Amino acid sequence: MSHDHDHDDHHHHDNHFSPMEARVRALETILTEKGLIDPAAIDVIVETYETKIGPRNGARVVAKAWAEPDFADWLKRDATAAIASLGYTGRQGEHMRAVFNDGETHNLVVCTLCSCYPWSVLGLPPVWYKAPAYRSRAVIDPRGVLAKFGVTLPETQKIRVWDSTAELRYLVVPQRPEGTEGLDQEALADLVTRDAMIGTGQALAPEARS
Amino acid sequence: MNGPHDLGGQHGLGPVAPEPNEPYFHGDWEKRALGVTLSCGAFGAWTIDESRHARENIPPATYLSASYYEIWIRALETLLQRHGFVSREELAAGRMLEKGAAPKRILKADMVPAVLAKGGPCDRPVEAAPHFAVGACVRTRNFNPTTHTRLPRYARGKVGVVETVQGSFVFPDDNAHGKGESPQWVYTVVFDGGEIWGEGAAPGLTVSIDAWESYLEPV
């Protein structure tokens, strides 16, 4: 599985990217010539985050917590262990905490200082999560941020913003939607979006399930 | 440091712009940037704290106009030069000119699944008991180090409540600068929105940070 440096057949949608394409290629070339990196390892890393580690992991955790009160309790007490029991461990998920939305409080996660994000359950963060606009606004104007995601909370609902300043990584457990009593855990997981687990969304209603 | 990365509460940084059906990568170079960054991290030559500090040291105008993978690559070039793996001349030439330093470990393809599954836990035991208990009222210190810190500016000199004692962890302010791991207790400290943002703070808002013990003083 070698990396072909000449297969860049897609056109750039932004000129800004062209110098970076050249810069990263140069760096990879130097490091490969020195034997410091294995291009095939890069392929495996990319494949892992494209196909194996993504928000479906977190959705399964949330669905299990909705369906099994004992698991929800474990997730509250020791999220790292509870999540590891489903096989989700490792990089940027070493120290997990789960925070539960309820009728009183909505939780929202940000990293104002960099881009800390629970990779083991959500995969790679979206661009907006790492961008200055979100990182600056989430802590001061969370309702304005939520509006950009089409989320409007009742005036009376409190908002708790978790700034990931240390090595704890936060997973939001959204409220279970109404009318989902008959669904099994895989069907429940279909309702749990990535944004719902960051706090910029809510779980989908069952009729929205495709 | 009071760098361009410390963004909480700043205005004028544009609209939050979620992208419908966002792809994992916007261009092939982002894939390679991810993989190169993780592969070089596996050398064991620097810590995550040193790499964060290298990103924070990117000049503000560049930092704020760069995508996050560009920030990663710029910082990685700094780290590779600092630790003798790659020279400035090599980066300019785009090819190897000299051998350079040898890393402790080279990440091969067959090692990747285990390395990603293990991650890099940074909890460490400390002998002393936690200084603050759940429910304690604390004030964050007001300091402005030119070195690495994880206490954001918006949360300095503010009074909050210890909600959780999260365990003891590597202290990044030291570890980023090769001064050792110096583990400390970490606390989730919650602030009322009004304590941080004052007049006009969003009603019903609380904000928490995860704070190392030496960031906190009793009230």
On whether any CB of chain B is under 8 Å from the CB of A140, the answer is: yes
On whether any CB of chain B is under 8 Å from the CB of A153, the answer is: no
Average pLDDT over residues A63-88: 98
In this predicted structure, what is the pLDDT of residue A111?
Answer: 98
Average pLDDT, chain B: 97
pLDDT tens digits along A48-61: 999 999 999 999 99
A13, pLDDT greater than 90: no
In this predicted structure, what is the pLDDT of residue A141?
Answer: 98
Domain with CATH 2.30.30.50 in chain B: 137-218
In this predicted structure, what is the pLDDT of residue A209?
Answer: 65
pLDDT tens digits along B97-128: 999 999 999 999 999 999 999 999 999 999 99
Average pLDDT, chain A: 92
- Tokens encoding B35: 């993989």
In this predicted structure, what is the pLDDT of residue B120?
Answer: 95
Sheet holding A105-110, edge to edge: A105-110, A158-163, B205-212, B184-192, B159-169, B137-140, B216-218
In this predicted structure, what is the pLDDT of residue A4?
Answer: 43
Of the residues A18, A85, A115, A136, which is catalytic? A115
In this predicted structure, what is the pLDDT of residue A9?
Answer: 41
Domain with CATH 1.10.472.20 in chain B: 28-118
Considering only CA atoms, which of B14, B64, B91 is closest in space to residue A28? B91
Burial A68-105 (b: 16+ CB within 10 A, else e): eeebbebbeeebbebbbeeebbbbbbbbbbbbbbeeee
Place of tokens 């262990």: A81
The length of chain A in residues reads 210
- Tokens encoding B146: 């030119």
Question: Testing the interface with B: which of A4, A31, A105, A162 to mutate, by most B Cβ within 10 A?
Answer: A31
Annotated active-site residue A115? The verdict is yes
On whether any CB of chain A is under 8 Å from the CB of B57, the answer is: no
Judge residue B156's burial from the number of C-beta atoms within 10 Å of its C-beta, 0-12 exposed, 13-18 middle, 19 or more buried: middle
Considering only CA atoms, which of A171, A184, A168, A177 is closest in space to residue A203? A177
Annotated active-site residue A114? The verdict is yes
CB atoms within 10 A of CB B133: 10
In this predicted structure, what is the pLDDT of residue B101?
Answer: 97
pLDDT tens digits along B138-184: 999 999 999 999 999 999 999 999 999 999 999 999 999 999 999 99
CB atoms within 10 A of CB B198: 8
pLDDT band of A207, cuts 50, 70, 90 = confident
A29, pLDDT greater than 90: yes
Query: All domains of chain A, ordered by start, with CATH?
Result: 17-51 (no CATH), 54-208 (3.90.330.10)
* Angstrom distances, CA of residue B104 to CA of B12, B39, B46, B99: 44, 12, 11, 15
How far is B13 from chain A, CA to nearest CA, in Å?
A: 5
Q: State the pairing for strand pair A169-173/A96-100.
A: parallel
Residue percentage of chain B with pLDDT more than 70: 100
In this predicted structure, what is the pLDDT of residue A210?
Answer: 55
What's A87's DSSP letter? T
Average pLDDT over residues B80-107: 97
Answer whether CATH 2.30.30.50 is correct for domain B137-218: yes
Q: Judged by CB atoms within 8 Å, which residues 1-20 of A form the interface with B?
A: 1, 3, 7-8, 10, 12-13, 16-17, 20
More confident residue, A142 or A1: A142
pLDDT tens digits along B29-51: 999 999 999 999 999 999 999 99
A129, pLDDT greater than 70: yes
* Architecture of the domain whose range is B28-118: Orthogonal Bundle (1.10)
Residue percentage of chain B with pLDDT more than 90: 100
Q: Name the residue among B7, B100, B122 with its Cβ closest to that of A167.
A: B122
Place of tokens 């494209």: A50
